[in-house]
Amino acid sequence: MAVSGKIISINVSEETGTKKTPVDSAELVKEFGILGDAHAELTKDPELKHRQVSLLATESIKKIFDMGLDVAPGDFAENLTIEGVDISHLPLGTILSFKSGVALEVTQIGKKCHKRCKIYQTVGDCVMPREGVFARVLSGGKIIKGDTINIV
């Protein structure tokens, strides 16, 4: 059975560990990531090459918003903000497919937080280390804000 979600925001930045800026569309490159985004540069590090694209659910962002912090898509340095799918509980190896032919493989759930980010310092919590999802690009192409994501 296929489950689908939706891209709420596509976010990019020139540096890692910083808020990302929303854009209307992005070009994903196989085994690299999003053109023009700092995460793609991480693919040069063999230990990080599986973290080409990061994803976070709007439901995760809402948890921090409900704690009193004014946060929005991209504030957690995620590339794709999606809704409608509990991505943080998907099994590793799950394939996320888009109508353009782009396909991502879930490679990591959560991450080690080496230094407490500004969000953590402000509200005492950050969801990215627990609920952020990382994926590698199996097939590239263009994605657009509002595209449907199918999880099979």
Query: How buried is residue 9: exposed, middle or buried, by Cβ count under 10 Å (0-12/13-18/19+)?
Result: buried
CB 92 within 8 A of CB 109: yes
Q: How far apart are CA 55 and CA 53, in angstroms?
A: 7
CB 128 within 8 A of CB 76: yes
pTM of the complete model = 0.88
**Residues in the chain, overall count:** 152
Yes or no: domain 3-151 corresponds to CATH 2.40.33.20:
yes
- Tokens describing residue 137: 């690009």
From the list 133, 49, 34, the residue with the least C-alpha distance to 85 is: 133
Give me the residue spans of the domains in the chain. 3-151
- Tokens describing residue 148: 């449907």
- The one-digit pLDDT tens for each residue of the chain (152 residues) are 467 899 999 999 988 767 889 999 999 999 999 999 987 876 677 777 788 999 999 998 888 788 787 888 988 888 999 999 888 899 999 999 999 999 999 999 887 665 666 556 555 566 776 888 999 999 999 999 999 999 87
- Count the helices and strands in the chain (H runs, E runs): 4, 11
